[in-house]
Structure 1
Amino acid sequence: MTPEQRLAELGLTLPEVVPPLAAYVPAVRTGDLVYTSGQVPLVEGKLPLVGKVGAELTVDEGREMARICALNALAALKSEVGDLGRIVRIVKAVVFVASDPGFTGQPQVANGASELLAEVLGEAGRHARSAVGVASLPLDAPVEVELIAEVS
């Protein structure tokens, strides 16, 4: 089953690539690696939720925002390589979580992105990961995800 077929089976549609919010490009390929820029959970140009996880958002809401970020990152990858089937492996995911100062559940929030990648890409979606709590993110986004992928 192709990644696009898995997306359809999950009831998901790959969105249009989120336009850059500043002076950068959504993804860059060098050799067999593609690096995505950080992707926030924009849906049709808007953030469904804003604020810090552990204050304005629950862990489950943060996890859902991380899923959206991962979907946006897959769109950025596809824009660079043309077909998600060319992804050999997601090498690394970095998940930034805008966190209340006492919040320590960043790994649980990051699981939203990691689980989506595994659901869509199977074994190729399993990856190394960092889950990092930060004071704030662009547009008051609760989560931002960047990926490094090996491609054929």
Structure 2
Amino acid sequence: MSVEVGADWRRNLEQLGLTVPAVTPPVAAYVPAVRTGSLVYTSGQLPFVDGRLTVTGKVGAEVTLEQAAEAARLCALNALAAVHDLVGLDAVVRIVKVVGFVASAPGFCDQPLVVNGASEFLGAVFGAAGAHARSAVGVSELPKNTPVEVELIAEVR
């Protein structure tokens, strides 16, 4: 069963005080998003705003849970920018899967709470169509010393 998203995403982003940013240029040899059939896969997105990381370090050491959850939200927004640049968010039928990587200090085990920042944001933007399968993975290092990286898969028309 498909859920129609329509243009509600625009209104929902506006209510959150956000707009779709420009796509963050890749930091290595990849493209921000690829479509195959009715799915768009994004590359892992970092919490860049205007070309700068908003926070760096390990969650549970230099970065708080709250800062990391906000970073995950920004990662998800950047992933939506990649989808929008490729096919337009009006084409999104639903968010299928989210994978969040959390650079974790020893003993930090609340990765799911960090990635909730992305998941709750996608629900706020797309409503029921933002509900998705998910993985939240703790890792020792991430690119550019970012605390969070998020990728997603979207079903599109």
TM-score range, shorter chain: over 0.9
Q: What letter corresponds to residue 65 of structure 1 in structure 2?
A: A
Residue 76 of structure 1 deviates from its aligned partner by 0.4
User: 2 CA distance for matches of 1:120 and 1:24?
Assistant: 27
Match of 1:42 among 48, 52, 77: 48
Q: TM-score, normalization: structure 2?
A: 0.94
Match of 2:115 among 110, 119, 140: 110
Match of 1:133 among 118, 138, 146: 138
Q: Which runs of 4+ in 1 moved over 3 A?
A: none
User: 2 CA distance for matches of 1:45 and 1:22?
Assistant: 14
Deviations 1:69-117 (A, max 9, x none): 00000000111112x1211111100000000021000000000000000
Residue 150 of structure 1 deviates from its aligned partner by 0.4
User: 1 CA distance for matches of 2:20 and 2:125?
Assistant: 11
Residue 4 of structure 1 deviates from its aligned partner by 1.3
Q: How many residues align?
A: 151
1:12 corresponds in structure 2 to: 18
- Give 1:1-152 correspondences, 5 Å limit: 2-82=8-88, 84-152=89-157
Q: What letter corresponds to residue 53 of structure 1 in structure 2?
A: V
Q: Considering only aligned residues, what root-mean-square deviation do their CA atoms show, in Å?
A: 0.8
| Unaligned residue ranges in structure 1 (runs of 5+) | none
For 1:97, what is the secondary structure of its paired residue?
Answer: strand
Q: What letter corresponds to residue 127 of structure 1 in structure 2?
A: H
Residue 57 of structure 1 deviates from its aligned partner by 0.8
| Unaligned residue ranges in structure 2 (runs of 5+) | 1-6
